[in-house]
Structure 1
Amino acid sequence: MKNFLQLDGYFQETVATIVVIATIMVLRMVSAKLIRRYARTSEILEHRTNLVIKYTFMVLNSLGLIALIIIWGVKTEYIFATLSTMLTVIGVAFFAQWSLLSNITSGIILLFSFPFKIGDVIQIHDKDFPIEAEIEDIRAFHTHLRTKEGRVITYPNNLLLQKGISILPGFHEDREFTD
């Protein structure tokens, strides 16, 4: 009976935790359906749709974690100390690997600005290494290109934004793109 009384002190926090988790699950389902519906009406490829859904889920999960931290009354000085330490380590790592940050930023720009899309045939105007290939996949850090000869080239996203690019008439057969 004594253990039950001790747990009774956390009843509000437990109920609030269940409500937050249920709310996040519902928001994830609703947002995924809304994003897919918008993608269908806008004729956006499924790969890009899945990336947007993944990023949306990351934001919702982060908000849920913040809500749980607040509900359970974690002291703010502990949160700030932990966050500042994490941000310092991440900042040093990104400073040491600035190209990584550049590729992530370029991937986000490519994802949302749509200068070209999966299935487009492009020519990269590079003096030393010109490339003519079909875009197979656009990822967060790099893009997969397939040449006429069938070679797959992994090209960093930041270079795609720095180099001149021409979109050419396609040399590919029409096919379904799946993840």
Structure 2
Amino acid sequence: MYDLLLTYREQLVYSLAVVILLLVIQFVLKKAANKVGKRSEINITRTRLMFKYINILIFLIAAFLLSFAWGVGIAELSLIFSSVFAIIGVALFAIWSILSNITSGIIMFFSFPYKIGDTIKIHDKDMPIEAEIEDIKAFHLHLRTSDGELITYPNNLILQKAVSLIEVHGRYDEGKDAL
């Protein structure tokens, strides 16, 4: 065991440093997302969704950096990443709307001026909608009309259409979980 530690000492130290650094970066990013969420009165579930995105980003960076530490060369690493990105690229091209909705959900987390409980009007020439925002998910909004109809509206479309705030009501303390 001691021989193993001596043989891979440099890789182990580098790996430990990378893990500690990435944990610190993850902590800082989560604190920043939490602070933005509280300052903007964003629902805690949406803040937790940002935490998942941060975890995925940190994991990808860790895999990349640790592969260098353990002797994977640039040529092998570029082959692996180009193959993975080619497969992902083909898959994402086939499901581009899902990716655009996720991206829109991230944009809405930081800059969407409307909150859960607000009544909005979406100015769409084909189907104008006036409804209360019931929930904001990663892919879509849940809107409740005055007739009680539930409408799921894609996040990417809400950023493309003109939206008016009709009434601010029904807001609750979005920064705390309900018991």
- The TM-score normalised by the length of structure 2 is 0.78
Q: Deviations over 1:1-20 (max 9, x none)?
A: xx642442112212322232
Q: Which residue matches 1:104? A: 102
Paired residue for 1:132, among 124, 130, 133?
Answer: 130
Paired residue for 1:70, among 68, 75, 81?
Answer: 68
Paired residue for 1:152, among 117, 136, 150?
Answer: 150
Q: Which residue matches 2:121? A: 123
- The TM-score normalised by the length of structure 1 is 0.78
Paired residue for 2:79, among 71, 78, 81?
Answer: 81
Q: Report the Cα distance in structure 2 between the residues aligned to 1:158 and 1:71, rounded to whole angstroms.
A: 40
Change (3 A) 1:157 1:43: closer
Q: Which residue matches 1:19? A: 17
Q: Which runs of 5+ in 1 are unaligned?
A: none
Number of residue pairs aligned between Structure 1 and Structure 2 = 175
Q: How many percent identity over aligned positions?
A: 44
Of structures 1 and 2, the one with the larger relative CO (CA 8 A, separation 6+) is 2
TM-align CA RMSD: 2.7
Q: Deviations over 1:63-93 (max 9, x none)?
A: 2222211111212222111111111112212
Describe how 1:34-49 pairs up with structure 2 within 5 A: 34-40=32-38, 42-47=39-44, 48-49=46-47
Paired residue for 1:61, among 47, 53, 59?
Answer: 59
User: 1:101: Cα distance to partner?
Assistant: 3.0
